[in-house]
Amino acid sequence: MEPPSYEEANLHAPAVGTRAFDTLPPPPYDTSIPVPTTPPPTYGEAVTVQPDPFPVLTPPRVPTDVTSPSQNNGMVHPVTQIGTTPSVSVIRTQPVAATQPLPVAVAPMYLTDSPGLVRCPHCNHVVTSDVKYLPGKAAWCMCFLLAAMGLICGFCLIPFAVRGLQDAHHSCPNCRNHLHVYTR
C-alpha cells in the first residue's frame, strides 16, 4: 500500500489531539521595531557618583609659615587670615594599639599532632613543644595490610613516609623531657 499523495492528505481532517502542536508562524522580517520618542540618558545622567562611604579623615594642620601682624604692618588678609595666629584646636589622640590575646597553655594530654603551647611539668616554663614524628601502630598496620595484598617490593614501606600515619612525640625544648605522645 502506498502512502497518500500530498493533496489527498490535506483533504482529510487532522488527527484528534494535534491542535496542541499547532504553532503560529514567526513574524515577517520586514516589520519595524518601535523607536522610543525620547533619547537615552547621557553618560553623566546615567552614572551618578556616589560619595565615598569611608572617607579618609585627616587631622587639621597648623600652618607653619604664619607671619605676625607686626611683619605685615598690622594687615591681615581677609580670606586666608594670614598675619594672625589662627585659632585651630588640635586634638592629639594616642594611637590605638591592637593587641592579640595571649595564648593559653594547655595540659600535655591535650596536645595533638602539631606543636602546642604547654607548661612543662618538669621545668615549669610555658613553651611551644618540639614534635618528632615516629611510626606508630597505624603505620605498621598499613604496612602489613599492603604486604598482605602483595605490594612487597617497597610499596609496603609507603606508610612510614606518610605523616598522617605517624605518632607525634612532644618534648620540652628547654629541658628536653618527654611531655606527651599523640597516637593515631
Predicted TM-score (pTM) above 0.75? no
pLDDT of residue 180: 85
- Strands (E) in 84-161, as ranges, are 117-119, 126-128, 130-135
Cell of 114: 602539631
Amino acid letter, residue 27: P
| 63-97: burial string, b at 16+ Cβ within 10 Å, e else | eeeeeeeeeeeeeeeeeeeebeeeeeeeeeeeeee
How many Cβ atoms from other residues are within 10 Å of residue 172's Cβ? 21
pLDDT of residue 80: 62
Give the C-alpha distances (Å, rounded to integers) separating 72 from 2, 69, 77, 84, 153. 119, 5, 10, 10, 98
Backbone φ, ψ for residue 60 (5° rounding): -70, 150
pLDDT of residue 116: 83
Residues ≥6 apart with Cβ < 8 Å to 102: none
Cα(48)–Cα(117) distance, integer angstroms: 54
pLDDT of residue 156: 83
pLDDT of residue 120: 84
Cα(31)–Cα(24) distance, integer angstroms: 16
pLDDT of residue 20: 60
Per-residue pLDDT of the chain (184 residues; tens, 9 = 90+): 788 888 887 776 666 555 666 777 777 777 777 777 788 878 877 777 667 767 677 766 766 655 555 555 555 666 566 655 555 555 666 777 777 776 667 777 778 888 888 888 888 888 888 899 999 898 999 889 988 888 778 888 888 888 888 899 988 888 888 888 888 7
